[in-house]
Amino acid sequence: MSIETERSILGLAGKLALVTGGGAGIGRASAELLAQAGMKVAVAEIDPARAAEARAALDAAGCDSLVVEADVREADDVARLLDAVSVRFGRLDVLVNNVGDYLGFKGGFVDSTEEEWQALYAVNLLHIFRVTRAAIPLIRSSGDGGSIINLSTIEAFRGIPLTVVYAAFKAAITGFTQSLAVELGQYGIRVNAVAPETTNTAQIVATSRVPAENRENLKRWFPIGRFGESSDSAGAVLYLASDRLSGWVSGSTIVVDGGALAAGAWMRMPNDNWTHLPIIEADGYTPRPHAR
């Protein structure tokens, strides 16, 4: 199948996507995949080096792109970002709110502080409010409906100890996504979310944290047998961006987790029996004070 045929199927060629945090990880993978689908791409990135890398990659791909160094936690930067997108392209079709997978302060909730809550709020939820509110008028004025995609996490749908406030903000993204989908549906604007499990990105290098002698256990911890990659979530973003593929999908969350949420606590043991009460050391997360 030719690139032209693939782009025709997706129906995204010539449209514009804005990806926040598009300089690395899932954001970068999403920006590059949307560009491959024929979209024009705007990227917001706080880190100058990552912004330069994203700019070079999109230029090399022949994408009509704009990379803006901005901190989307700041209202002034959000306004500057949307002004730049409007001046350069005059439209916006797809917004990917990718910034935000920041666990921050790990510890018991009783020991957490309001300063920590505010920092987690700014990274994991407040910027989504600000960017989305600023983007909606431009999406509506484009006249072709549109798609808003919020990056969440599997932790929005299960309990996670020691990062209670983080998980609370992620759960809030679900409510925001569903309610905004209802509100904006009259304009043909769809709102959905993508919720990954642990994914190898610039922030989280998961696979290498598991000792080599224990990586065989990955096949037992996840039904699909591995941690996620940025490209996994980028594929979900591409699906939700395309009206051709997901034109009647709104208010939903795609869980990109290798089957982990479906499995619940069930894991396959080395003898191919199953247990929902595993005790597994050397998983890359469990402290091993006795290890040398």
Catalytic positions, written as ranges: 166
Give CA–CA dist 120/113, Å, rounded. 11
CA atoms within 13 Å, Cβ hemisphere of 28: 20
User: Which residue's structure tokens are 């224990």?
Assistant: 214
Give CA–CA dist 57/209, Å, rounded. 28
Distance, C-alpha 131 to centroid of its chain: 15
Segments of the chain assigned E as strands: 16-20, 40-45, 65-69, 94-97, 146-151, 189-196, 199-200, 228-229, 253-256, 267-268, 274-275
Nearest to 31 by CA among 11, 9, 56: 56
Give CA–CA dist 40/89, Å, rounded. 9
Give CA–CA dist 27/152, Å, rounded. 12
